[in-house]
Amino acid sequence: MKKRLSEQINRMYRLMKVKNNILEADEVKDKADLVTDDVSQFFNNLSNIDSTLYQEQRGGFQFRKEVESVQIGLLLLGYKLPRFGVDGKFGPETAAAVKQFKSDNNITDSDESMIGPIEEISLVQLKKIPHPNIEIDYDGTHNDFVNKDLLDDIQKAANAANLTVTITTAKSGHGHNTKSGVKSRHMTQTAVDISIINGIGSGNATNTSNGNPEFRALGNKLKDALVDLGYVWNTESGNQKAVLWQTNTGGNHFNHLHISNNSGTSGGTNNITSNKSKESITPSMVRILIQKLKEYDIKPNDIRKYTIFSNKNSVSMDGNWFEIAKQLIKKYETFIPYTKWDENTFRGGYGSSRKIVNGKLVNVTKNTTWTKEEAEDTLDYEIKNFYAPTISRQLGIDNWNKLNDRQKASLISFGYNVGPYFISAREYGKKIKQAIENDDMETAAKIIGTGPTTGAGSGKVYTGLYKRRKEESQIFMS
């Protein structure tokens, strides 16, 4: 018979005879806000960690569900996180617990721990950069962290070419994979897109002759200045520094310049340190963590001690909101039985970049195919288990519960299109939340109606999105 986890932890504490520096679970300073007490989902979160997570530097911390899940797992097994608790950040405290877990279980970092970038970069938040020739798109991009040396090089190139450039996409709003199916450098915070130069846009260019010729000329000047700094033009694979421009390599790079640097600054001091000197959470370590956790009879109450969300606060399936949202999404996301490249990621079925395979959501590839039944199952799963919970948590369960079914459906359709984190990541999302908090549903509907109508990656205007925003606004007010 499995031992109750709480009994085992209490036994461990007594054996360790530590008095003051061990916190009881209820005293952990920070608790998870991306993980719930759903035991099955908790293990799924851990199982989905298929690449190495590296310890982060101060100033470059990000909140990640994967890290929260590992932190909870370590706490459940009796490891200590007394200062910061479950904060979703892979800092020194979590690194110490990870190191101790590896030592206790004879885990040695193999070549697996070096998957991904060989070097660790210095990150800076875009809204805090001092560069006079760089502007930032304040649609959520400004909150992203990016390789500082990449930004320094862009500043040098823009200054040399007498240009003012606008970074329109960094990590948020960009697809996980490139058109060829490999992990995008945007996901490693070593790439940005520039689609506005001197206040001029591309005019939705798709080849070397259409679009705005003035933007094309300015883009050429910026590209040349970057090449002078050592950036390779139109070949990113195998090169640490690259600029993609006037090419379909990796996607449409006629309407923006894609600039990446996963090394150091050109002609300056390289302040990069090796990942070998940093702690890492490898997939093999996580597999052992899961094995250890499954030795115990983990209950929701065990996880609940470390998270602010529980199934008690989960989204109720009562009412018609689910069916209304589903039909609204299907109206605008036409079913396709194959996968196509759409706004910097592959999508298929009903516009999904993920697919249910053997009960697990996996990223789609260029070879993924769909039946209508598979597309329906994936859409159902994503609405119930991802979009509705994510949107309701950002909104606040009290605000969510004050909405009628059509208002909930409107927000889910909106989030399915613009991204589920729009309430916390976008200014218009924050305004929607504020209006709902103030019971000003008319204002909330107006903001929805004037929401995004362009592609997040391409900047292309979609006339269908005008109709979708209008209908979502009308449904919200009905």
Indicate if 352 and 460 belong to the same structural domain: yes
Q: What is the pLDDT of residue 15?
A: 40
Indicate if 152 and 298 belong to the same structural domain: no
**CATH number of the domain enclosing 140:** 3.30.1380
Residue 337 lies in a domain: yes
Residue 243 lies in a domain: yes
What is the tens place of the pLDDT at every residue in 322-357?
Answer: 999 999 999 999 999 998 888 767 889 999 988 888
Distance between CA atoms of 374 and 238, rounded to whole angstroms?
Answer: 37
Distance between CA atoms of 55 and 242, rounded to whole angstroms?
Answer: 26
Residue 413 lies in a domain: yes
Which residue type does 140 have? Answer: G
Q: What is the pLDDT of residue 114?
A: 38
Indicate if 380 and 447 belong to the same structural domain: yes
pLDDT above 80 for 35: no
Residue 56 in 3-state DSSP?
A: coil
**Cα–Cα separations (whole angstroms), residue 260 to 24, 176, 184, 341, 395:** 45, 15, 10, 21, 35
Q: What is the mean pLDDT of residues 149-156?
A: 94
Indicate if 240 and 355 belong to the same structural domain: no
Query: Which is more confidently placed, 319 or 225?
Result: 225
The reply to whether the predicted model has a pTM over 0.75 is no
Indicate if 322 and 367 belong to the same structural domain: yes
Q: What is the mean pLDDT of residues 364-378?
A: 90
Confidence of residue 219 (pLDDT cuts 50, 70, 90): very high
Residue 43 lies in a domain: yes
Indicate if 466 and 411 belong to the same structural domain: yes
Q: Read off the DSSP letter of residue 341.
A: E
Which residue type does 235 have? Answer: T
Which domain-ending residue is among 261, 294, 327?
261
Residue 166's beta-bridge partner residues? Answer: 135, 196
Q: What is the pLDDT of residue 411?
A: 97
Indicate if 295 and 253 belong to the same structural domain: no
**CATH number of the domain enclosing 406:** 1.10.530.40
Confidence of residue 88 (pLDDT cuts 50, 70, 90): confident
Indicate if 152 and 184 belong to the same structural domain: yes
Distance between CA atoms of 107 and 198, rounded to whole angstroms?
Answer: 53
Average pLDDT, the chain: 83
Residue 270 lies in a domain: no
Q: Quick one: which of 345, 430, 391, 374 has its CA closest to 173? A: 345
Residue 271 lies in a domain: no
Show the domain range for 102. Answer: 5-116+277-304
What is the tens place of the pLDDT at every residue in 225-248?
Answer: 999 999 999 988 888 899 999 998
Q: What is the pLDDT of residue 271?
A: 40
Indicate if 188 and 205 belong to the same structural domain: yes
Q: Read off the DSSP letter of residue 185.
A: G
Indicate if 328 and 358 belong to the same structural domain: yes
Residue 340's beta-bridge partner residues? Answer: 347
In the block, residue with structure tokens 């109508």: 453
Indicate if 155 and 201 belong to the same structural domain: yes
Q: What is the pLDDT of residue 268?
A: 43
Name which of 67-81, 224-238, 267-281 the model is least confident about: 267-281
Indicate if 103 and 141 belong to the same structural domain: no
Residue 269 lies in a domain: no
Number of domains forming the structure of the chain:
3
Residue 310 lies in a domain: no
Distance between CA atoms of 453 and 467, rounded to whole angstroms?
Answer: 9
